């Protein structure tokens, strides 16, 4: 996750960069701070250094006797990136191995997803090897994957993190499949609601036909007789017109019946 941190830092300004104008001095301090910040790369406690957001304060400079350079203590706010155990993240596969894949997530490039942590997937060798499951879901190079972090390791010599991740959990795996697993149930629910509303509309239509077509208000049910053939034709025509206006198709009526 992204962290907002406030850090103290020592910035050394070479003597030749010193200027009587305050703005030039401040600019030199900021440039040196950004350069040092980029070289630092990462720390075990704070993760990867990404950006300096605000320069909070600049302390009083101290001249170094041997070189004549001036050291300025500064405090600044910055953004870092560090992953934690149990966190759900997304990464992109950049290498496929026989026993798993390597992913990149932000500045972290050594994220290992073992084949043992891909339930239902099997390795398929070839020019472009991939991992497939029975649902034809694919994990291969350049595929985006959502995963859960099992653990991390800090490498002091390389100043970088390694991570072990898994797909064991809900809505984890290739992002296309995760998207479909959420969208399909919603689409099914929407279709069901639509059918119910159409059915209710059909019910209102039938009630209207019974009350206004078959048995007009001046005719009692017990007095009703069989309608002449011409009346049946008129009723059928009116029913057809009304179903068309209500948006009720023959396929929908067949489905409901």
For the chain, domain boundaries: 2-81, 88-169, 179-256
State residue 135 phi and psi, 5-degree precision: -90, 15
CA dihedral sign of residues 107, 109, 110, 114: positive
Rounded to the nearest integer, the mean pLDDT of the chain is: 78
The pLDDT value recorded for residue 215 is 46
What is the pLDDT, as a whole number, of residue 228?
47
Which strands sit side by side in the sheet containing 122-124, from one edge to the other?
A: 122-124, 130-132, 138-139
Q: What is the pLDDT, as a whole number, of residue 29?
A: 87
Task: Give the pLDDT confidence score for residue 4 in this predicted structure.
Answer: 93
pLDDT at position 217, please? 45
| Domain 2-81, classified CATH 3.40.50.720, yes or no | no
Residue ranges of the chain with pLDDT lower than 50? 179-181, 183-184, 188, 213-233, 235, 253-257
Q: Hey, what CATH topology would domain 88-169 get? A: OB fold (Dihydrolipoamide Acetyltransferase, E2P) (2.40.50)
pLDDT (0 to 100) of residue 212: 54
The DSSP annotation for 127-187 comes to: SS-EEE-TT--EE-TT-EEEEEEEEEEEETTTTEEEEEEE--STT-EEHHHHHHHHHHHHH
């Amino acid at each position: 996750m992204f962290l907002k941190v406030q850090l103290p830092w020592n910035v050394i300004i070479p003597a030749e960069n010193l200027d009587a104008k305050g703005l030039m001095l401040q600019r030199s301090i900021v440039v040196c701070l950004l350069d040092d910040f980029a070289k630092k790369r990462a720390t075990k406690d704070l993760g990867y250094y990404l950006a300096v957001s605000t320069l909070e304060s600049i302390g009083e400079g101290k001249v170094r006797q041997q070189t004549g350079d001036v050291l300025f203590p500064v405090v600044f706010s910055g953004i870092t990136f560090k992953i934690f155990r149990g966190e759900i993240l997304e990464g992109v596969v950049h290498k496929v191995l026989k026993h798993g894949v390597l992913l990149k997530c932000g500045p972290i490039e050594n994220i290992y997803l073992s084949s043992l942590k891909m339930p239902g997937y099997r390795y398929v060798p070839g020019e472009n090897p991939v991992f497939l499951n029975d649902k034809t879901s694919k994990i291969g190079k350049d595929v985006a994957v959502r995963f859960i972090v099992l653990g991390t390791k800090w490498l002091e010599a390389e100043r970088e993190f390694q991570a072990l991740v898994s797909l064991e959990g809900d809505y984890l795996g290739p992002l296309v499949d995760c998207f479909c697993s959420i969208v399909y149930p919603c689409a099914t629910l929407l279709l069901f609601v639509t059918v119910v509303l159409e059915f209710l509309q059909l019910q209102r239509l039938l009630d209207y036909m019974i009350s206004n077509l078959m048995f007009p208000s001046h005719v009692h049910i017990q007095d009703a007789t069989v309608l002449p053939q011409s009346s049946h034709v008129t009723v059928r025509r009116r029913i057809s017109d009304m179903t068309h206006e209500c948006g009720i198709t023959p396929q929908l009526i067949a489905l409901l019946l």
